[in-house]
Structure formats: C-alpha cells, structure tokens
C-alpha cells in the first residue's frame, strides 16, 4: 500500500484533477441537460399554444365559421403557418370533428374530438401529449369562439401538433453541445494540471514530496547534531531555522522561529555582520560575555537576495583546537631534539669505537647512562605525575641539544595532579615558561635553568628560574599583554596564553626579576577550584 501511495506528484495532481473534473462536469452536464430538455419542451408547448390561439382569432377562420363552410384559403393559411413554426400538422375542425382547414402529411376526412373536449366545452387553451399510432405528438389546442353579437359560442378548435421525436432530436443536439463543451473543459483541465505539476516540480528542484520530507528530516537532524551554531533568516529578517547550538551559544529562548532577528539579537555589531551584503568569514566578535567567531553567507535566487545563513563558533573551542595543535607541535619539537641529541652521541661513540678508543667510549656510555638514570630516578621517585614527566623529559632533551644546564631542584615532589588540570594547559604553562627561560640564557656564558615543583598544602607550585639578564625596568605586568614582547615583532603570545590558562585554573603568577641575575616565574594552582566543588 505504501508503494502505491508513493507515486509522483504529477500523477497525484493529474489523478485528483481528473476525478474532480469528471465529478463536477458530470453533475453540471446532467443538470444543464435536464434544464435544457425541460426548456426545449416548454418552448415547444408555448409555441404550439400561441400558434393555436393566434390562428383561432384570424379573420379568415372567424369568417369561415360564421358562414359555416370551409374554404381553400384556410388550407393555404394553415400550410403557411405550419412551415413558419415548423409544426408537423395544423388542424382546424368544427364541433363535430369536420375539417375546415388542414396542413400536414395526409388530410383525413374527420378528426376525433376527444382531445378537443376541454376546448369545445370549457373554451380552454391547453397543451397535451398524445399518441397518433406509433407517433408521439405534442398538441396545442385553442377554441374558436364566434361572436354573434348577443352571445359568443365555441364553434370549433385549432390544434397545432409537433412531433416529440423532433423535440427530442433538438434536445439531443443541445446535450451533444454541452458534452462537447464539457469535454473541452476536461481536456483543458488535464493540460492545466500537467502544467501545474511540472511547475511545482520545477519549484521543488525535481524532488517528490516524500523526498522533500526526507531531506527536511535529515537536514534537521544534521543541523541539530552539529556543535556549530547556525541561524537562517529570510530577506525580511524573519528567522526560519535555528539549531540547538546557536540557542545555547547566544543564550536565546526556545520557539523563536518566525520572529524577527532584530527582536531576538540586540547586539548592533552582530546585526551589522549578519546583514553584510558580501558575507563575512571568521570574524571575531564579543557577544555578551563570550567571544564568538562569526561567518555569514547571503542566499541569492536569480540575483535577488532571499535570505542569509549565519554560523557561530565559541572561541573556546577554537582555542582548544589550537592548543591541541600546539601540543602536537611541542611533542614533535621535543622528540626531534631528543632524537638529535642521541644521534649525535651515538655518532661520537661510533667514532671512538672506530678509532679503537674503547675505554673512552665505555666511559661516555656509562656517564650518559648515569645521567639518564638520575633523571629517570628523580622523575619516578619524586615527580609522579605522568603529564609533567613527559613535558620535562622533552625539555631535558632540548636543553641538552642547546647546551643548556637544565636541572630539577632538590626537594621537588609532585603527586598525580587533580583531574581538572589537563595536559593541554600544562604544556602551555610549563612549556612556554621553560622555553622562555632557555631563550633568556641562550646568550649567557653560564646557561643555567632550574625547575622546582611542590604540592604541599592546598596549592601546587611550579617555579622556573633562569640566569638571564632579567626583565628590565618598566615591564611589569605588560609581559602578559597579547603582542607585547622584548624579542621582536610577531612575538608576545606565549606569556599571554600562560596567563589565560592560569586564570582559567583559578591560579596566580608571581614574577621576581633582577638585572643581570635572572628571572623567576612562580605559578600557584589550587588543587580544588570553585566550579568543581
């Protein structure tokens, strides 16, 4: 049954139009044919009775009955009237049924007067239908009233007869015309329905209704599942679609479809962006207490703007993606440095073996093994958080490559970090500060960088110290401003990111710097933050 109902739109429209046309045209044809047949019979009756009345008052007929003798002139008159009104017969008879005038096929000697009784007795004008053999006739009968001066008397009758077959033929001809007109309307209706179906199919891009409904359901499912907020509105600004992500991101109420976008979004800057004629790409905008990335694209149909689609992304998600990329890049850099360092040492050991200096090669291997054992022992004994271990191991390899003395201070200890401190913010905080320390001592004769961590009490404290030249006067908190750097252009984002991550973890940063002696960055992170309590 479902397959039978799933037919094309053109077939549905054509079937419906054919059914309605057949129904309406059949009813109209029946009603019109019925009224036309009644009208034709009524016209024939009126013509018969009026002709009979007119003949009954003609002077020739009146004079003939006064003299009580028929004349040939009456036959000529009857024949003339018969031709004019297209009657089948006209009979003029006296009270005894004798014919005074006749026009028709065969003239009888006399006429039975039973059909003329009412006219002769009561002087009535009337119409009746009778059978003359196998022929059915419609007769109009009128009395011939003679005025004798003192009185009037009915001396005879005039009967004008029409064949019912001729009347039925005329009715059939009228019905045929009606049927032909109905057939023309029917064909025009079918042609119009085909044109309408093709026009609708063109408007729906050739898709059938069940395909459109399926696409609509799929579109809603897709739009509601994506995390990117989306709003669509027409050229009047009326919202036609909004997904759940847009409602949550822009903090909009439910059931705002069919409302004007100006009544829903009050930010003038955002409205200017979404109404851009050329559209916008990745425009950053402050909306309420959030930073959103806005994209918009106008919709055109035949060079006329019919609407706009706008997408919104929370910058926090973009930032997470950037952090993930930075994390991968940092790991890649640290692994490259570690690989480079060990490759260099392997080449040295290989050279010593080739030169036969086995004792020096063994000594170098032992020293390196001892160093790695000390580092590894310290990590696994005192620093037991795997995330921090991974970061520091990479930095040790990088420090070795750059010939920097990177050390972990005595007394450092760290248990596994709380769950709210993830790897990504640690890479940003520890990684950036250690990299900055490496850069600060790169030009110093003594390249010393130290790292200290403790989790005693309610806070976790990281301390990175370098033996560089210090920050200098007048720098202060400006080093955490985006784009501010003492190292040149296109720098100054690392410490800004550090500050942002520390703030998100509800921590704080302390700086101690002295000229020509170096800088110490102290990061204090609470073990418990308010939103997780």
Assigned domain for 137 exists = yes
Assigned domain for 4 exists = no
Asked if 527 and 379 sit in the same domain, the reply is yes
pLDDT higher than threshold 50 for residue 489: no
The average pLDDT across 398-404 equals: 82
Angle subtended by helix axes 432-441 and 386-401, to nearest 10: 20
Question: What CATH number has the domain bearing residue 430?
Answer: 3.30.565.10
Instruction: Give residue 449's pLDDT.
Output: 93
pLDDT higher than threshold 80 for residue 128: yes
Question: What CATH number has the domain bearing residue 22?
Answer: 3.30.450.20
How is residue 115 annotated by DSSP? T
Please state, in angstroms and rounded to a whole number, the distance separating the CA atoms of residues 247 and 256: 9
pLDDT higher than threshold 90 for residue 469: no
From residue 330, alpha-carbon distances to 94, 322, 323, 423 in Å are: 134, 12, 10, 12
Angle subtended by helix axes 72-85 and 59-67, to nearest 10: 150
CA 170 to chain centroid: 59
Instruction: Give residue 470's pLDDT.
Output: 81
How is residue 277 annotated by DSSP? S
Closest residue by Cα to residue 427 from 509, 517, 331? 331
Asked if 378 and 523 sit in the same domain, the reply is yes
Name the token pair of 17: 């139009």
Cα Rg of the chain (Å, integer): 56
Name the token pair of 429: 């905080």
Asked if 308 and 448 sit in the same domain, the reply is no
pLDDT higher than threshold 80 for residue 76: yes
Assigned domain for 249 exists = yes
pLDDT higher than threshold 70 for residue 329: no
What confidence tier does 492 reach under pLDDT thresholds 50, 70, 90? very low
Please state, in angstroms and rounded to a whole number, the distance separating the CA atoms of residues 503 and 506: 5
Asked if 166 and 254 sit in the same domain, the reply is no
Assigned domain for 164 exists = yes
Assigned domain for 181 exists = no
The answer to whether 297 touches 318, Cβ cutoff 8 Å, is no
Assigned domain for 324 exists = no
Helix (H, G, I), strand (E, B) or coil at 3: helix
Please state, in angstroms and rounded to a whole number, the distance separating the CA atoms of residues 394 and 156: 139
Helix (H, G, I), strand (E, B) or coil at 515: coil
Give how many domains the chain has, as a whole number. Answer: 3
Assigned domain for 198 exists = no
Query: What is the pTM for the complete model shown?
Result: 0.42
Domain that holds residue 111: 11-170
pLDDT higher than threshold 60 for residue 246: yes
For 355-392, how does the pLDDT look when each residue is reduced to its tens digit (9 = 90+)?
888 888 788 787 777 666 666 665 667 888 888 888 88
Asked if 294 and 398 sit in the same domain, the reply is no
Please state, in angstroms and rounded to a whole number, the distance separating the CA atoms of residues 352 and 361: 6
Residues above pLDDT 70, as percent of the chain? 86
For 248-284, how does the pLDDT look when each residue is reduced to its tens digit (9 = 90+)?
777 788 777 778 887 777 777 777 777 777 777 887 7
Please state, in angstroms and rounded to a whole number, the distance separating the CA atoms of residues 330 and 325: 9
Q: Which residues of 428-449 are buried (b: 16+ CB within 10 A; e: fewer)?
A: bbbbbbbbbbbebbeeeeebbb
Q: Which of 319-328, 331-340, 438-447 has the largest mean confidence?
A: 438-447
Strand partners, 140: 127, 160
Helix (H, G, I), strand (E, B) or coil at 409: coil
pLDDT higher than threshold 90 for residue 78: no
Instruction: Give residue 482's pLDDT.
Output: 67
| Long-range CB pairs of 115-122, under 8 A, 24+ apart, other chains included | 115/139, 115/141, 115/159, 116/141, 116/157, 116/159, 119/143, 119/154, 119/157, 120/95, 120/154, 120/156, 120/157, 121/154
Instruction: Give residue 53's pLDDT.
Output: 92
From residue 89, alpha-carbon distances to 78, 82, 105, 108 in Å are: 9, 7, 7, 12
Asked if 371 and 520 sit in the same domain, the reply is yes
Residues above pLDDT 90, as percent of the chain? 10
From residue 88, alpha-carbon distances to 2, 13, 156, 171 in Å are: 64, 52, 20, 17
Asked if 139 and 49 sit in the same domain, the reply is yes
Ranges 4-13, 91-100, 175-184, 329-338: which has the least confidence: 329-338
For 10-67, how does the pLDDT look when each residue is reduced to its tens digit (9 = 90+)?
777 778 888 888 888 888 888 888 888 888 888 889 999 999 999 888 888 888 888 8
Single out the residue in 261, 294, 316 at which a domain terminates: 316
Between residues 288 and 186, the one the model is more confident about: 186
What confidence tier does 532 reach under pLDDT thresholds 50, 70, 90? very low
The average pLDDT across 477-504 equals: 69
**Mean pLDDT across the chain, nearest whole number?**
80
The average pLDDT across 480-506 equals: 71
Assigned domain for 489 exists = yes
Angle subtended by helix axes 9-56 and 72-85, to nearest 10: 160
pLDDT higher than threshold 70 for residue 487: no
Asked if 281 and 388 sit in the same domain, the reply is no
pLDDT higher than threshold 90 for residue 461: yes
Asked if 58 and 151 sit in the same domain, the reply is yes
Asked if 252 and 156 sit in the same domain, the reply is no
Asked if 400 and 466 sit in the same domain, the reply is yes
Single out the residue in 170, 188, 207 at which a domain terminates: 170
Instruction: Give residue 46's pLDDT.
Output: 92
Asked if 405 and 471 sit in the same domain, the reply is yes
CA 474 to chain centroid: 59
User: Can you say whether residue 409 is alpha, beta or left, with left for phi > 0 and alpha for psi between -120 and 50 degrees?
Assistant: beta
Single out the residue in 130, 146, 170 at which a domain terminates: 170
For 426-442, how does the pLDDT look when each residue is reduced to its tens digit (9 = 90+)?
888 998 899 889 988 88
């Amino acid at each position: 049954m479902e397959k039978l109902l799933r037919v094309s739109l053109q077939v549905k429209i054509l079937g419906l139009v054919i059914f309605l046309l057949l129904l309406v045209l059949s009813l109209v044809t029946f009603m019109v044919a019925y009224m036309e047949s009644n009208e034709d019979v009524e016209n024939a009756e009126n013509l018969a009775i009026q002709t009979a009345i007119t003949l009954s008052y003609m002077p020739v007929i009146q004079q003939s009955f006064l003299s009580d003798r028929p004349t040939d002139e009456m036959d000529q008159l009857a024949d003339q009237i018969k031709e004019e009104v297209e009657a089948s017969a006209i009979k003029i008879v006296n009270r005894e049924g004798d014919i005074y005038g006749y026009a028709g096929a065969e003239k009888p000697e006399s006429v039975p007067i039973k059909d003329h009784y009412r006219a002769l007795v009561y002087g009535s004008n009337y119409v009746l239908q009778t059978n003359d053999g196998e022929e059915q006739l419609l007769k109009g009968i009128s009395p011939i009233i003679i005025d004798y001066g003192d009185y009037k008397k009915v001396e005879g009758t005039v009967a004008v007869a029409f064949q019912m077959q001729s009347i039925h033929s005329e009715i059939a001809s009228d019905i045929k015309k009606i049927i032909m007109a109905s057939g023309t309307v029917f064909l025009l209706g079918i042609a119009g329905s085909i044109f309408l179906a093709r026009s609708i199919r063109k408007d729906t891009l050739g898709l059938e209704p069940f395909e459109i409904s399926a696409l609509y359901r799929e579109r809603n499912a897709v739009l509601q599942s994506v995390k990117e907020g989306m709003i669509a509105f027409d050229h009047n600004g009326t919202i036609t679609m909004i997904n759940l992500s847009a409602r949550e991101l822009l903090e909009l109420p439910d059931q705002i479809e069919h409302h004007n976008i100006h009544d829903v979004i009050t930010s003038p800057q955002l409205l200017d962006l979404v109404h851009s004629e050329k559209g916008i790409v990745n425009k950053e905008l402050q909306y309420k207490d959030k930073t959103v990335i806005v994209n918009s694209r106008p919709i055109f149909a035949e060079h006329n703007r019919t609407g706009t689609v706008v997408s919104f992304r929370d910058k926090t998600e973009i930032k997470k993606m950037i952090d993930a990329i930075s994390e991968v890049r940092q790991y890649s850099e640290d692994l490259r440095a570690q690989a480079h360092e060990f490759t260099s040492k392997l080449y040295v050991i290989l050279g010593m073996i080739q030169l036969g200096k086995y004792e020096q090669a063994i000594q170098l291997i032992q020293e390196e093994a001892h160093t790695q054992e000390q580092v590894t022992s310290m990590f696994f004994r005192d620093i037991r958080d795997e995330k921090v271990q991974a970061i520091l191991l990479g930095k040790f390899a990088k420090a070795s490559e750059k010939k920097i003395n990177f050390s972990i201070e005595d007394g450092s200890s760290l248990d596994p970090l709380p769950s709210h401190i993830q790897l990504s913010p640690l890479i940003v905080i520890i990684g950036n500060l250690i990299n900055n320390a490496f850069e600060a001592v790169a030009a110093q004769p003594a390249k010393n960088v130290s790292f200290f961590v403790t989790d005693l009490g309610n806070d976790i404290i990281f301390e990175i110290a370098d033996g560089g030249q210090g920050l200098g006067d007048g720098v202060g908190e400006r080093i955490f401003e985006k784009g501010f750097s003492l190292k040149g252009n296109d720098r100054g984002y690392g410490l800004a990111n550090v500050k942002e991550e520390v703030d998100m973890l509800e921590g704080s940063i302390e700086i101690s710097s002295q000229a020509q002696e170096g800088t110490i960055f102290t990061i204090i992170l609470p073990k418990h933050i308010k939103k997780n309590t």
